[in-house]
Structures are given as C-alpha cells and as structure tokens.
Amino acid sequence: MNIQGKQESSIRLPITFQEIVAEIVEFTGLPQEEVEHRVWMQALEPGWNVIQDVQRFGVTPFQFDEKMILLYTEGDGFIFDSLVYWSKPSRHLWIQHALERIQLYSDRVGIPITDLKILMHGDGPGNDSLFLANNGLQLDYYEVPGSKTFEFAVKRFQRSGTWGKNINPIYDYQVCLEGQYDVVVSFEVLEHLPKPVKAIQEIHTALKTGGIAIITDDFGDLAGYLPTHLKSGARYLGSAPFLFLKNHMVLSWYSQDELFKPYEFIKMEQVSPKNWLLLASDYNVRSLYLSKYGGRLARFINKLPYFRFKRA
C-alpha cells in the first residue's frame, strides 16, 4: 500500500485560511465575518479562541473544575484552535508518522491495514480521523459526547461520506475498554486530563496484547496561551515513557522530526528489568525526564532575594 501523498485523493482537509473559514461556517452556522476574524486572530495569536472561552466561562487557567468542563462542552474555541494548528506542516507529520507506524504494525501481525481496529482518542474536530479514513482505514472516533467539537466533527464525517463507514463515533467511552483495539491514537490529550495516569491505564485496557499506542503529550507546558493544560499534570513532564512502561506498554519508537511527537508504545503481557534499563539508557528519554528538575531549580533560583534584587 502506498501511504505517501494519498491524503487528498478524495477528502480535502482544510489547510488554507479560506478552506478553514469555509469549513467552520458550514458546520457551525456562524457568520462569515466573525469566523474570518476568529481564524485570523488564531493564526496571529495561538490559543486566542480558547482564551476567549476561558474568559466567557470564568475558567481558572490550568485548573480542572466544573467551569472547565463547561468550556469543553459548550465552548467552540477548540474548533478554531485545532483546525488552524493542524494546518502547520509540522503537525501534519504526527498523523503521517502514525499512518506509517500503523502500516508497519499491519505488516508485522499479518492483518490488512484496512481490517485493523483503531481508536482515535480525543481527536477534536476530526482531522486526523478523516486523514486515516481517506487512506482506507476503519476507526472509532471519541471526543466529549454532546460537545460542540463532537457535533462539528460528526457533521464533517456525514458530509464526507465516512460516517458509519470508515468512521464510527463513540458515545460511551466504556465500550472502548474491552481489549479490542490494534491501535490507539491520542494526540495532546493527556495534559488536559485531571487523571492522566488513569487515562494511560485505560489505553492499556483498550489495546490487544501486542497492539500499539501512538501518543503525544505536552505535560508541563503551562504557557498563557494553553490555559486548559493542567497544573496538576506538570509533574509528569518527561515521564510518559515510564508511565506507559509501568502499565506494561513498552516504548518501541519515537519521532526524531519533532522529538517524541509522536511516541509509539507496544502493549506487552509482562515487562522485564531489561525494558526499564533500555528506557533509562536512552539519552533523549533520560534528558527530557531530567529537564523537569532543571526547571524546578531555575524557578527556585529566580525566587532567591539576590536574583530578585538583580532583576529589579
């Protein structure tokens, strides 16, 4: 199967300003002028639309509570945020790498790639799902049911003809946790969750033994334009490979283009001390893990009276 350059053969995913605006207008019903302004502001100031939702719903940045839940269900900022971000070439690489790794998995286990069972976990407005569907893959799509983002994605799937064919939306996440998936794909989800370790355990539960999880995370990035990243998850910066290994998922590959975006983990029946040793001996993994301690030290030093005086 040729997996290069096949993306736009039947489903045109929006990557230009005009295409993104047209898609949002069509599936939200918002006025053209408003959408143009919001897409433009998103391009100029990453996070702009989500920040507007934060202010609208009275959310405390980096803190998960009922107001944050309301933002996820009633806000539409992530539609703008995700579509604009996805248009970046570096972001395209994540799903292109995922497709390549899925093809390698298919070859390894001897199952046609079109017959694999795939879960897209937290795919927002659905670009990655549509990308894989456009390459003939079958998948289950999960996002917060009933949210504006979920409804937006479903309308796109219906328009594209993938609804109920290549893409099956999931309304009850519990049905995913039965060990039926060959592949779980989850990009930039864990840092938004109040219990990311539980989410990793659930990915393990969703996978078949030998199945793969293709993951990115952004733990520890609490920049002002990322107000829905949780402070409670910052302590997991650099820890994802170890958290997955603790849950019997072994790091098997990671991208060198944008380091660790994405990772690939294989679900194992058992892990051994050798798996831990190999992980700890990986320079890139070890460096990222240790970087969080360097950040803590820098913050501590900056609080010392001498350095406060020098800055003043």
Amino acid 296: pLDDT: 53
Amino acid 5: pLDDT: 40
Amino acid 299: pLDDT: 46
Average pLDDT taken over every residue of the chain: 92
For the entire predicted model, the pTM comes to 0.91
Q: How far apart are CA 132 and CA 94, in angstroms?
A: 12
Instruction: Please report, rounded to a whole number, the percentage of residues in the chain having pLDDT higher than 70.
Output: 91
Q: Which residues of 109-124 are buried (b: 16+ CB within 10 A; e: fewer)?
A: eeeebeebbbbbbbbb
**Exposed/middle/buried for residue 292 (C-beta within 10 Å: 0-12, 13-18, 19+):** middle
Whether 109 shows a pLDDT value over 60: the answer reads yes
Q: Which residue in 274, 290, 288, 212 sits closest to 244, CA to CA?
A: 212
Instruction: Please report, rounded to a whole number, the percentage of residues in the chain having pLDDT higher than 90.
Output: 88
Q: Whats the size of the chain, residue-wise? A: 312
Q: Are 211 and 266 in contact (CB under 8 A)?
A: yes
Whether 311 shows a pLDDT value over 50: the answer reads no
Domains in the chain, CATH or no CATH each = 7-86 (no CATH), 89-300 (3.40.50.150)
Whether 3 shows a pLDDT value over 70: the answer reads no
Amino acid 122: pLDDT: 97
Report the C-alpha dihedral over residues 49, 55, 60, 61, rounded to 10 degrees. Answer: 30
Q: How far apart are CA 84 and CA 133, in angstroms?
A: 20
Question: Mean pLDDT across the stretch 103-121?
Answer: 98
Indicate the pLDDT class of residue 295, thresholds 50, 70 and 90: low
Give tens-digit pLDDT for 181-234: 999 999 999 999 999 999 999 999 999 999 999 999 999 999 999 999 999 999
Q: How far apart are CA 156 and CA 14, in angstroms?
A: 11
Angle value at C-alpha 84, between 78 and 86, nearest 5 degrees: 95
Side-chain half-sphere exposure of 275, counting CA atoms within 13 A: 20
Indicate the pLDDT class of residue 305, thresholds 50, 70 and 90: low
Give tens-digit pLDDT for 137-160: 999 999 999 999 999 999 999 999
Indicate the pLDDT class of residue 2, thresholds 50, 70 and 90: very low
